[in-house]
Structure 1
Amino acid sequence: MTPGVRPLIAGNWKMNGTLREAAALAEGVRAGLDRVAGADLLICPPFLHLHVAAASMGWKPVAIGGQDCSADANGAHTGDISAAMLADAGCGYVILGHSERRADHSETDTLVQAKARAAIAAGLIPIVCVGETEAQRDAGEAEAVVAAQLAGSLPPDFANAKGVVAYEPVWAIGTGRTPTEADIAAMHGRMRAELAARFPGQGEATRLLYGGSVKPSNAAAILALPNVDGALVGGASLKAEDFLGIGAAVPA
């Protein structure tokens, strides 16, 4: 962890659950909040479930976020959700540039940066995701790929807006595989150096999350690494006990 930076444990529910299941999951997290004292918690339900999850959670002290937003403020964009709509629904954060969006919807660094600009303009904190494929890591290109994604995806006011970066190696998402602790520490160190160089005085304190098969059994070791300031949790966030267990791994 980074000294002086409060960790963030963010749950990305992805495209899962019914309204009833979302309410039950949120209530389960709320019931166990006393287990988590050392970190901020964030849940990011599907768009349709945002309000019911927030209401079931009691709105506070867990933050609510969206899983994506449009780069446009409004208009004829069928099926899209604007950052202002998310803010109006009570969101404080939005996940952008997740590898599943980059791969399934052909999102580029340029588009991710435009979305981050829109999120910041609406008062949201963007969580911008970066990460390499297995082929890129095997070719020794992992750090260069992530550095390029950071350069292309983050707008100039990112650090000033308290933006968050989430490193998720594509090959570790939902696979049960994780990089070694040394690999995670090396990548987070490289990201810290890139951010510190681009945003002097602010990049040193930008929260850097690790994502990719994080679970209660490995959370403590990962969260103890330098420059790892929390986790972006996928599958384990769909079980309140597991999500809370990851949060509880952060020392109070």
Structure 2
Amino acid sequence: MTRTPLIAGNWKMNLDHLQAIATVQKLAWTLKDARHDFDDVEVAVFPPFTDLRSVQTLISADKLPIRFGAQDLSQYDSGAYTGDVSGAFLAALDAQYVIVGHSERRTLHAETDEVVAAKTAAAVKHGLVPVVCVGETGEQREERGAGVVPVEQLQVVLDAVQPSEIVVAYEPVWAIGSGQAATAEQAQDECAAIRRGIAAAWGDEAAAATRVLYGGSVKSGNIAGFLREPDIDGALVGGASLDVQEFAAIARFRQHVGL
């Protein structure tokens, strides 16, 4: 089964709304000049909340083929939840995606697997595609074995939604922001374990149709190795997504290596 690769740029807490406009414009021009086929490799950016309206207006007005999403959402639709942003608000901005359960949210904001599942269900309810992040620390990987913790995290989510409604992103927490990436073989082993976990819960056909991304110090110099692996369907890119030329080179991995 063919799964369209997704190259997703998580800007984290970087770029104000004016910088966001300039970045998306430059990215669109760079990929257009390179004759990038957006139907062959999907490209999405995930700006901060304060940039979303500006990015949405630009993409809509200029009919840009770049997709966009938010970095988080509330599990609640409305109410006395100061600082939260609901899926309904994101859907009203025509966002297509939302990141859920990123390791930084799990660590810095103490988000549990149950909260991640609730947020995932809220995203699906409002027509958004959640990019559900799962992963493990180096200590967890050493003590429990490769693939165990990510699959357990995902199983809680799959009790709330169907795999056809989500994208999964594997994060080796020990690699994020370190400049050190998992090897392609390690990433493949983890993503294959995730796919087996989906198959155990929902069957082989559902597992074969679900996109699984790798996210952990992804760069133009290593993306081809990851995307050659059979169970890796794209990348959740962090710091490198802030550099337009670098992010465009990641998105154009097929042209570089003939994949």
Which category describes the TM-score, using the shorter chain as reference length? over 0.9
| Structure 1 unmatched ranges of 5 or more | none
Please say if 1:112 is aligned against 2:116: yes
- C-alpha separation between the residues in 1 aligned to 2:162 and 2:11? 24
Contact 2:220–2:249 (CA under 8 A) maintained in structure 1: yes
| Equivalent of residue 187 in structure 1, options 180, 186, 190 | 190
Contact 2:98–2:131 (CA under 8 A) maintained in structure 1: yes
Contact 2:164–2:209 (CA under 8 A) maintained in structure 1: no
Aligned structure 1 segments of 4 or more residues deviating by more than 6 angstroms: none
Residue equivalent to 2:207: 203
| Structure 2 unmatched ranges of 5 or more | none
Residue equivalent to 2:222: 218
- C-alpha separation between the residues in 1 aligned to 2:89 and 2:235? 26
Q: CA deviation at 1:72?
A: 0.5
Q: Deviations over 1:147-194 (max 9, x none)?
A: 111112334433232x10000111111111011221111111111111
Q: CA deviation at 1:29?
A: 0.9
| Equivalent of residue 53 in structure 1, options 52, 55, 58 | 55
TM-score (norm: length of structure 1): 0.94
Q: Secondary structure at the match of 2:147?
A: helix
| Aligned pairs for 1:1-252 within 5 A | 3-34=1-32, 35=34, 36-37=36-37, 38-57=40-59, 58=62, 60-161=64-165, 163-200=166-203, 201-250=205-254
- C-alpha separation between the residues in 1 aligned to 2:100 and 2:161? 16
Q: CA deviation at 1:28?
A: 1.1
Q: Deviations over 1:190-212 (max 9, x none)?
A: 11111122122222110000000
- C-alpha separation between the residues in 2 aligned to 1:98 and 1:42? 16
- C-alpha separation between the residues in 1 aligned to 2:201 and 2:208? 10
Instruction: Provide the alpha-carbon RMSD of the alignment.
Output: 1.4
Q: CA deviation at 1:141?
A: 2.8
Q: CA deviation at 1:140?
A: 4.5
Task: Return the structure number with greater relative CO, CA threshold 8 A, min gap 6.
Answer: 1
